[in-house]
Amino acid sequence: MTQDRLNARLRATKLWGLAFIVLTVIAWIAIRGLHQLIGGLFIGELGGAYVLVSLIGQGHRNDDMEGTALFASGMLGMFTRIIALVIVMVVAEHWRTYFNPYTALVGYLLGFVFVVAGLYGFAKSRKTDS
């Protein structure tokens, strides 16, 4: 039961993230004067989508990984998320006429916001035996 609730919450979090990206594309099409700001938000959200996938999509929910292997997996995930941030920021800075670096950073951080907001309700209602 708990595993089903967690999987449902993770699917909903991914769908909310995808919906936010679609809304950003619609805003980019509809609002002509803010293309640079919205473009930066969009590429940041693409990096944030990787954050979402790497944190909740590739989690170790059903395996028995522990110890050194789990630590190495977490370090690799952290390293790839930092690389994704560097790529987003370099692209936004290099093509500054198309992308705003500040909104790109905000868009990237939205991936973390979706993870925390999506799993907050699940973690709050989870029963513990302490």
| Chain segment 62-79, per-residue pLDDT in tens | 556 666 666 666 777 788
CA nearest to 121, candidates 6, 4, 33: 6
pLDDT, position 22: 92
- Ranges of residues in the chain whose predicted pLDDT is under 70: 1-2, 57-73, 121-122, 124-130
Q: Which residues of 64-101 are buried (b: 16+ CB within 10 A; e: fewer)?
A: eeeeeeeeeeeeeeeeebeebbeebbebbeeeeeebbb
Distance CA 17, CA 41 (A): 13
Distance CA 48, CA 52 (A): 6
pLDDT, position 62: 55
pLDDT, position 99: 92
pLDDT, position 32: 84
Q: How many CB atoms lie within 10 A of CB 119?
A: 17
Helix (H) or strand (E) holding 32: none
Q: How many CB atoms lie within 10 A of CB 103?
A: 22
